[in-house]
Amino acid sequence: MAISRRLVQRFQWSASLRDSRIVLDRTWLCLSAAALAWSDYESRRRSRQSFCETDPGRSSIIKFRVDNDRPGLLSEATEVLKKQHLNIKDARISTADDSRAEHVYIVQDKLSGAGLSEDRLAQVREALRQLAAGDCRAEPWPRYCSADVAKHTTPEQGIWVSYKDGVYDITKFVANHPGGTDKIMLAAGKAIDPFWRIYQQHTGRGNALELLESMRIGDLSDPPQADDRSSCPFSTDPERHPGLIFHNNKPCNAELPAELMLDAWLTPNPVWFIRHHHPVPIMDHDQYRLVVDGVGTKSVTLSLEDLKSRFLKREVVATLQCGGNRRSELDQIEKTSGIPWGFGAMSTAKWGGVYLREVLQHCAGLSHENVEAFEVKHIIFKGLDSMEASIPVQKALSPYGDVLLAYEMNGESLPKEHGAPVRIIVPGVVGVRNVKWVGKITASQEEAQGPWQRGIAYKGFSPNVKELTGIDIEKIPSMQDLPVQSAIVFPKAGSTVELDDIEVKGFAWSGGGRGIVRVDLSLDDGKTWITADLQDGKDQAYNRAWAWTFWEASVPVPDSLKGKDITILCRAVDSAYSTQPERPEPLWNLRGLNCNCWHRVSIRHQDD
């Protein structure tokens, strides 16, 4: 459905007036969903009157149809309603049947906590008519029961869900769900409360609640009982180091703080960055079994002891990086969807375990001949937490790919936080493919199912794509190798330096095993550059440089910049002589992935 410029502007007036931001998110995705949901409201209400209850509920819909609309009227009307002691749950502008502007408010009487009585409506009507000529009326906010919601599970019927005491029509949003259509359709016609108790990122961050509220069509007359917190699936998660920068706790998503990043080339286990999609599974190591099967293989089942005793132990030093690392910089251009990581969604460890290729070839019988004969193209990893991802078979079987079934991390048994008893390590590839708590490995002609492989979560879109209607998401390649990356860790942004030579330190890394050949720094917006000295990590094997490289430089402050604000820039060059792009704007994408533009840190030079 096309959204007129006038409607967009009016939505923006409303959003600017609401400190609580209950109207809509700044993203086009939220704006589109809100407009589409409201445009369908009247037709839904007229055609679906078989509510389980007909009492007026706890809210009212005030419709103020004005003869002559004008800029600022929505703001003025909102203030009038506040002075009438009303809680404003939502405020929108639509076009009435006679083409007049219709201001629509979902309100609740502060004193009674309910919808408006006739007396209260009369008071509100008189106050609004002081602002502009027009009609003013109120209707009860529709009330549905769970049985009503259960009838709406298809696009033709409308896809409805409930959450707490609300009912929502999510039909237009399903295709844009970041977790994929299949996953959100599991909740069609049902309460999403149980799903959100697992995927608590919906309530812990971002705009999910605001977006959901924009699609509300009524109240739920029989809401579920309050959640018993003792049954929280995250209650058995391990304790975490307080020094981490937490973006979520349920599930946990936390980044390595800059202050600890350069202390050691191998990141200590307690402060390793954490990226979870689900609760940490509880696993008895003695009962653990890994199933290896699929086309071109003979199915085998291995215990943890089997992996340790039947195969040579291998060690690989590898950096893992989330595909959304540095997403917060893209958010400054326009809000994306995802965790607003700084540059700490990456860490490095020495992993111990067995080569995946040795298990596939020598135990499961997946020879190169079988790969060709059975047209095997992907190796799928399934985690015990329901996470599923895959990599190309060429990477899995390459003698230079170093893909590992890891049971050790930095010389210790793999912590359960990071995938114990066994996880996959795929060096040089985006972090999401390094599946934790792996329970099954499958050779396949198709890549993995699910939102983390075929959904939008880890796929890059053009900067002009703001919503996904009409886009065949499965045809867009999934992320695998990552581009060259670097960042300035010291000095911190906003700090003051006094010396005329600025000590600058940071890291650089590139996907696909491409080593770092150079890191350049500039104080004059790229007009001139100084090359940094490469430190730990510089001597890694060519095209098997799986870990980051630390660097440092002493950068003289030009006379023209002494005593002024200075922006330090850095860029890295990898062994393919690929370098980082200058600006973030051409990199912007809906999911906020692969932000690897020049890193910038602004400081102040204090001149004695």
Nearest CA to 492 among 334, 323, 342, 322? 342
Which pLDDT does position 426 carry in this prediction?
Answer: 98
Among 58, 202, 327, 514, which one carries the catalytic annotation? 202
Nearest CA to 419 among 398, 392, 389? 389
Quick check: is 26 catalytic?
Answer: no
CB distance 589 to 461 below 8 Å: yes
Q: Is 410 in the same domain as 297? A: yes
Q: Is 401 in the same domain as 517? A: no
Nearest CA to 401 among 429, 382, 366? 429
**Range 150-155, long-range pairs (CB < 8 A, 24+ positions):** 150/189, 150/190, 151/189, 152/188, 152/189, 153/188, 153/189, 154/188
SS3 549: strand
CB distance 170 to 142 below 8 Å: no
Q: Is 576 in the same domain as 540? A: yes
**Domain CATH number, residue 407:** 3.90.420.10
- Provide the domain count of the chain: 2
Question: CB atoms < 10 A from the CB of 97, how many?
Answer: 8
Residues across the chain: 608
Question: CB atoms < 10 A from the CB of 381, how many?
Answer: 25
Which pLDDT does position 228 carry in this prediction?
Answer: 53
Alpha-carbon span 25 to 33, nearest angstrom: 10
Nearest CA to 116 among 87, 93, 76? 87
**Range 5-8, long-range pairs (CB < 8 A, 24+ positions):** 7/35, 7/93, 7/95
Asked, for residue 85, whether it belongs to a domain, the answer is: no
Alpha-carbon span 31 to 202, nearest angstrom: 18
Sign of the alpha-carbon dihedral angle for 454, 456, 461, 464: positive
**Domain CATH number, residue 592:** 2.60.40.650
- Angle, CA 163 vertex, CA 160 and CA 165 arms, to 5°: 110
Alpha-carbon span 98 to 330, nearest angstrom: 43
Q: Tell me the C-alpha to C-alpha distance, in Å, between residue 153 and each of 199, 263, 485.
A: 21, 53, 44
Q: Is 469 in the same domain as 562? A: no
CB distance 104 to 81 below 8 Å: no
Among 144, 163, 407, 458, which one carries the catalytic annotation? 458
Rg (CA), the chain: 28
Alpha-carbon span 106 to 60, nearest angstrom: 6
Last residue of one domain, picked from the residues 449, 475, 501: 475
Nearest CA to 321 among 514, 548, 572? 548
Asked, for residue 237, whether it belongs to a domain, the answer is: no
Asked, for residue 280, whether it belongs to a domain, the answer is: no
- Strands (E) in 526-575, as ranges, are 530-531, 533-534, 549-556, 565-574
Among 177, 276, 544, 605, which one carries the catalytic annotation? 177
Q: Is 492 in the same domain as 566? A: yes
Q: Is 338 in the same domain as 418? A: yes
CB distance 217 to 44 below 8 Å: yes
Q: Is 314 in the same domain as 356? A: yes
Alpha-carbon span 74 to 9, nearest angstrom: 12
Nearest CA to 385 among 555, 233, 491? 233
Looking at residue 116, the DSSP 8-state letter turns out to be: -
Q: Is 327 in the same domain as 370? A: yes
Q: Is 554 in the same domain as 579? A: yes
Last residue of one domain, picked from the residues 456, 475, 494: 475
Which pLDDT does position 97 carry in this prediction?
Answer: 60
SS3 537: coil
Regarding pTM above 0.75, the answer is no
Contacting residues for 45 by C-beta, under 8 A, at least 6 apart: 142, 217
Q: Torsion over CA of 130, 131, 136 and 140, rounded to 10 degrees?
A: -110
Which pLDDT does position 130 carry in this prediction?
Answer: 84
Alpha-carbon span 557 to 388, nearest angstrom: 50
Phi and psi dihedrals of 605, rounded to 5?
-95, 130
Quick check: is 458 catalytic?
Answer: yes
SS3 259: helix
**Range 366-370, long-range pairs (CB < 8 A, 24+ positions):** 366/294, 366/296, 366/297, 366/397, 366/443, 367/296, 368/397, 370/296, 370/297
Q: Is 502 in the same domain as 462? A: no
Last residue of one domain, picked from the residues 475, 510, 526: 475
Q: Tell me the two tokens of residue 355.
A: 């080569």
Q: Is 554 in the same domain as 601? A: yes
Give the domain extent around 320: 289-475
Asked, for residue 106, whether it belongs to a domain, the answer is: no
Contacting residues for 464 by C-beta, under 8 A, at least 6 apart: none
DSSP-assigned letters across all residues of 149-175: HHT-EETTTEEEEEETTEEEE-TTTGG
Asked, for residue 235, whether it belongs to a domain, the answer is: no
Nearest CA to 254 among 315, 208, 205? 205
Residue whose structure tokens are 């910049």: 561
Quick check: is 202 catalytic?
Answer: yes
* Bridge partners of residue 550, in order along the sequence: 507
Asked, for residue 66, whether it belongs to a domain, the answer is: no
Q: Tell me the two tokens of residue 159.
A: 């896809």
Asked, for residue 252, whether it belongs to a domain, the answer is: no
Q: Is 513 in the same domain as 433? A: no
Looking at residue 440, the DSSP 8-state letter turns out to be: E
Asked, for residue 305, whether it belongs to a domain, the answer is: yes
Which pLDDT does position 141 carry in this prediction?
Answer: 74
What are the mean pLDDT values of the chain's consecutive 10-residue runs (608 residues total)?
36 36 33 39 40 52 81 83 84 70 82 78 83 76 89 93 91 83 84 77 73 86 68 88 89 93 95 95 95 97 97 98 97 93 98 98 96 98 95 97 98 97 98 98 96 91 90 91 97 92 97 98 96 97 96 95 95 98 96 97 90
Centroid of chain to Cα 176: 13
Nearest CA to 366 among 423, 299, 311? 299
Quick check: is 595 catalytic?
Answer: no
Alpha-carbon span 146 to 203, nearest angstrom: 22
